[in-house]
Structure 1
Amino acid sequence: MWPKDVGIKAIEIYFPAQYVEQTELEQFDGVSAGKYTIGLGQSRMGFCNDREDINSLCLTVVHRLMDRYDIKPEDIGRLEVGTETIIDKSKSVKSVLMQLFEPYDCTDMEGADTTNACYGGTAALLNAVSWIESSAWDGRLALVVAGDNAVYSPGSARPTGGAGAVAMLIGPDAPLIIDRGVRASCMKHVYDFYKPNLKSEYPIVDGKLSVQCYLNALDTCYQTYCKKVKNKYNCDVTLNSFDAFLFHSPYCKLVQKSFARLAFIDFLNTSKEEVFEKHPELTQFHDIKVEDTYFNKDIEKVFVNLSKPDFLQKTQPSLMIANQVGNMYTPSVYTGLVSLLINKPIKELAGTKVGVFSYGSGLCSTMYSLTITKECNEKSDLMKIVSSLSYIKKELNARQKISPEDYTKVLEWREQNCHTVPFSPQSSIKNMFPGSYYLVQVDEKYRRTYNRV
């Protein structure tokens, strides 16, 4: 017997307590007004000062999750971290998180770190689900952590940064059920975004290639998903098969284009006769090669407009955190889930099917779906999750606004001291959220110590 309804039983998010305003960053960078806010679809960008790193982000979100849901350390049998923010080539972030469990003599815990750009969180999640559905499962729960500090060198990619972490409790009888049966992946070898310089926090990015890879992976995953469902269940999949759709969000405008892209694939999967009957003006696009359309502005404009009502209903509610914090990398698509949960009435969420597309450059990608439980009364697990996320909007509004000048100085300081030892952070902790972990120092042997606000 498979464990019943394996999925997400609890979820917590953490983002730093400071941000930079994208309108001010536009002026500071000397670009045209609206380039970041309208062109990218971003409003604010969260970032880490020298008090926070990948270890502190993950320590914070795990401790907060366990406190908020009263999770006992002995209840966790697997702990896995997805991240691309590497500060040590050997020691995993998971091993750092074990200091939350060791005092309770809880060291029998499987899992380690998973790395491939923004995809690591999904790899960790699927591993956790597989563990619970395997013969190795011992009845305990799994804890999946996705966290990153996304920063770029000065230039066009810098406004697409962000920072934060998500922690998810995985187990049976979950209110957010990871659907069994069908999922589709696309994995390729591409240098669209990578981090070969271990002395720097900044990646090497080919922006145009990265967008092309993202859309190609989306096309491939969706077509493969549709084919698998057709072969297994003899039914067709379209965007109408989903009540909501979540995407990895490098920036919000790309998500809208991605939703339109799926509408375009649905169009291509429709017979030419049916297209002519419903949309005769679009028949000119029906025989075009998919690989020739990634930067076709005519097709993009047509299908963005055509799919806009569905986009506003199914995907726009999931972009709140992405718009306000930016691209967190591995947590990105799961902040979309959190945003959906807090922006839709619970009665509209109950019983719905949610499509998920996760992408990481280089590249790894997977499309799958989850089903939200029908139980939505005041004592239901779904209501508990939604109620427990009520802090998010308050914390977003409670953050401190930092000027672009000071933001730039913070990034320069971080880059300058990326591997400096010994190192003592200079930033104050007084504006950090209660319960946040912060870096105290890095000693001459690169050993890091942390404290908690």
Structure 2
Amino acid sequence: MVAVGIEAMNHYGGSAYLDVLELAHYRQLDTARFDNLLMKQKTVAMPFEDPVTFGINAAKPIIDALSEAEKDRIELLICCSESGIDFGKSMSTYMHYYLGLNRNCRMFELKQACYSGTAGLQMAVNFILAQTSPGAKALVVATDISRFLVAEGGDALTMDWSFTEPSGGAGAVALLVSEQPDIFQIDVGANGYYGYEVMDTCRPIPDSEAGNADLSLLSYLDCCEQAFLQYQQRVADVDYRTSFNYLSFHTPFGGMVKGAHRQMMRKIAKAGRDDIEQDFMQRVMPGLSYCQRVGNIMGATVLLSLAGSIDYGDINSPKRIGCFSYGSGCCSEFYSGVVTPSGQKKLGTMAIASHLDNRYRLSMPEYETLLAGSEQVKFGTRNAVIDTELLPGVWQTNQNATLKEGKARIYLREIKEFYRQYEWVA
């Protein structure tokens, strides 16, 4: 059997962010409850940013590092998102064009709430393992933008605004999957998946969300336990506490992950309170590092947690990372893989933390301006010319960051008869 996994990986976290503690004070939220979120910042999408630009900007540095021959071996492009911009046309077509990929390439878009990124990764892994095209590569792009327009008309499903606003983010993670798993080698066959029908959260119309936060938490906890138990049945001698050097979770917010890990340590590992806290800091916190600065980016979040575990973990020898992915509705999976010191070094060349440092910090009045203008670009927009100068400081910071990082960025320039037109800033 060939080796398979992530050859290259990158995250793009946008042009601007909001300090979520400042948001909590501004909204007069219960700060005691807010502390449990374990959030620091959230990416806020600008009018010139959409899921397509986030995805392309995440993938571009990966593609630029390839030779033309390597680039031409990308034969599968999967876009994973619940923030689609068209019921029929896949966002992957835009990504394929602007990344300059070979036309002999399968491309499509898939959706399964926050599980979509893992679904795309596992589909790509199996494409490589099938060996129907030896040496081929797959590009998986998980990209999402949070919505803050709440579906109205009943009380069965209502989103807690104070809960979702501080944690909802925007961004993308791009993965190059191949027979050269330089960054993360998948443990083939080591998968536990678990799912059932539950109405915890949903998007009943394109630009709004509805949900039951308590039900979602209970479903997440149930799936975390049951997916791991199936993993344990399939893999011999697995121990939740000792088999994984690090753990990467889908992270709606850090406090939810902490609760899930606490339950697993109590029920599965039979650990006490002090041991649980120490273990959380050692094995889980590295994976929260980026998530705390970006927010929940749905299908890409568990992959962002994986990037954090690799970048901030002590990878002085091969280390195994366990990953838990959850998507409302619901489907979940526990899987694992191995990262090496050279893999950590390779991911480090993407300088994800530096990119996040270079974002513009929004003031609350600027943030409110963006919320007020969020109707300009949404699902089904037919015609719009994007005002890049709505907040001049953000656009200038975006240009400065592009020069500083030496990485071209793409932005949404115009929508003309539904067709989205993008332009590079180099």
Give the TM-score normalised by the residue count of structure 2. Answer: 0.89
Note the 1:93-112 alignment, pairs <5 A: 93-100=91-98, 106-112=102-108
Cα deviation 1:8-48 (Å, max 9, x = unaligned):
11111101121111111011111133543x12010111110
Do the aligned partners of 1:182 and 1:225 also contact (CA within 8 Å) in 2?
yes
Matched, 1:90 2:96: no
Do the aligned partners of 1:119 and 1:358 also contact (CA within 8 Å) in 2?
yes
Match of 1:388 among 325, 349, 352: 349
Do the aligned partners of 2:247 and 2:309 also contact (CA within 8 Å) in 1?
no
Matched, 1:160 2:159: no
Do the aligned partners of 1:148 and 1:164 also contact (CA within 8 Å) in 2?
yes
SS at match of 2:247: strand
Quick one: distance in 2 between partners of 1:210 and 1:414? 27
Note the 1:50-69 alignment, pairs <5 A: 50-69=47-66
- Flag structure 1 segments of 5+ consecutive residues without an equivalent: 269-278, 280-301
Match of 1:245 among 247, 257, 277: 247
Q: Which has the larger radius of gyration?
A: 1
Matched, 1:185 2:193: yes
SS at match of 1:168: strand
Q: What is the CA-CA distance between 1:384 and the residue it aligns to?
A: 4.4
Over the aligned positions, Cα root-mean-square deviation in angstroms equals 1.9
SS at match of 1:448: strand
Matched, 1:371 2:338: yes
Quick one: distance in 2 between partners of 1:28 and 1:189? 37
Q: What is the CA-CA distance between 1:315 and the residue it aligns to?
A: 0.8
Match of 1:262 among 261, 264, 280: 264
Matched, 1:174 2:181: yes
Q: What is the CA-CA distance between 1:172 and the residue it aligns to?
A: 1.3
Note the 1:110-129 alignment, pairs <5 A: 110-129=106-125
Which AA in structure 1 matches 2:290? I
SS at match of 2:290: helix
Do the aligned partners of 2:56 and 2:99 also contact (CA within 8 Å) in 1?
no
Quick one: distance in 2 between partners of 1:163 and 1:68? 25
Do the aligned partners of 1:73 and 1:101 also contact (CA within 8 Å) in 2?
no
SS at match of 1:226: helix
Q: How many residues align?
A: 399
Instruction: Go from structure 1 to structure 2 and tell me whether the alpha carbon gap of 1:59 and 1:101 turns closer, same or farther (over 3 Å shift).
Output: closer
Counterpart residue number, 1:295: none
Counterpart residue number, 2:364: 404
Note the 1:250-399 alignment, pairs <5 A: 250-267=252-269, 303=273, 305-347=274-316, 350-373=317-340, 376=341, 380=342, 382=343, 384-389=345-350, 391-399=351-359
Quick one: distance in 1 between partners of 2:304 and 2:163? 24
SS at match of 1:11: strand
Counterpart residue number, 2:388: 427
Cα deviation 1:146-193 (Å, max 9, x = unaligned):
111123344432111111111111111313110012211112111111
Matched, 1:208 2:214: yes
Matched, 1:415 2:375: yes
Instruction: Go from structure 1 to structure 2 and tell me whether the alpha carbon gap of 1:70 and 1:20 turns closer, same or farther (over 3 Å shift).
Output: farther
Which AA in structure 2 matches 1:211? L
Instruction: Go from structure 1 to structure 2 and tell me whether the alpha carbon gap of 1:402 and 1:212 turns closer, same or farther (over 3 Å shift).
Output: same
Which AA in structure 1 matches 2:239? V
Q: What is the CA-CA distance between 1:101 and the residue it aligns to?
A: 5.4
Do the aligned partners of 1:101 and 1:107 also contact (CA within 8 Å) in 2?
no
Do the aligned partners of 1:239 and 1:262 also contact (CA within 8 Å) in 2?
no
Do the aligned partners of 1:184 and 1:367 also contact (CA within 8 Å) in 2?
yes
SS at match of 2:106: coil
- Flag structure 2 segments of 5+ consecutive residues without an equivalent: 150-160, 390-394, 403-407
Cα deviation 1:71-115 (Å, max 9, x = unaligned):
64312111111111111000111111121355x6x2111241110
Give the TM-score normalised by the residue count of structure 1. Answer: 0.83
Do the aligned partners of 2:254 and 2:288 also contact (CA within 8 Å) in 1?
yes
Which AA in structure 2 matches 1:237? D
SS at match of 2:397: coil
Quick one: distance in 2 between partners of 1:87 and 1:34? 37
After superposing the two structures, state which structure 1 stretch, 335-344 or 246-255, moved more: 335-344
Do the aligned partners of 2:53 and 2:410 also contact (CA within 8 Å) in 1?
yes
Counterpart residue number, 1:220: 226
Do the aligned partners of 2:10 and 2:347 also contact (CA within 8 Å) in 1?
no
Quick one: distance in 2 between partners of 1:163 and 1:127? 24
After superposing the two structures, state which structure 1 stretch, 81-90 or 258-267, moved more: 258-267
Matched, 1:139 2:135: yes
Cα deviation 1:287-339 (Å, max 9, x = unaligned):
xxxxxxxxxxxxxxx65x44111111111111111111111111111111211
Quick one: distance in 2 between partners of 1:156 and 1:336? 20
- Normalized per residue, the structure richer in strand is 2
Q: What is the CA-CA distance between 1:416 and the residue it aligns to?
A: 5.4
SS at match of 1:180: strand
Quick one: distance in 2 between partners of 1:29 and 1:126? 40
Cα deviation 1:411-449 (Å, max 9, x = unaligned):
231135424431112233322242221111111x21110
Q: What is the CA-CA distance between 1:351 and the residue it aligns to?
A: 1.3
Identity of aligned residues (%): 26
Q: What is the CA-CA distance between 1:211 and the residue it aligns to?
A: 0.6
Q: What is the CA-CA distance between 1:267 and the residue it aligns to?
A: 4.5
SS at match of 2:180: coil
Runs of 4+ in 1 over 6 A off after TM superposition: none
Counterpart residue number, 1:436: 409
Quick one: distance in 2 between partners of 1:100 and 1:441? 15
Do the aligned partners of 2:376 and 2:384 also contact (CA within 8 Å) in 1?
no
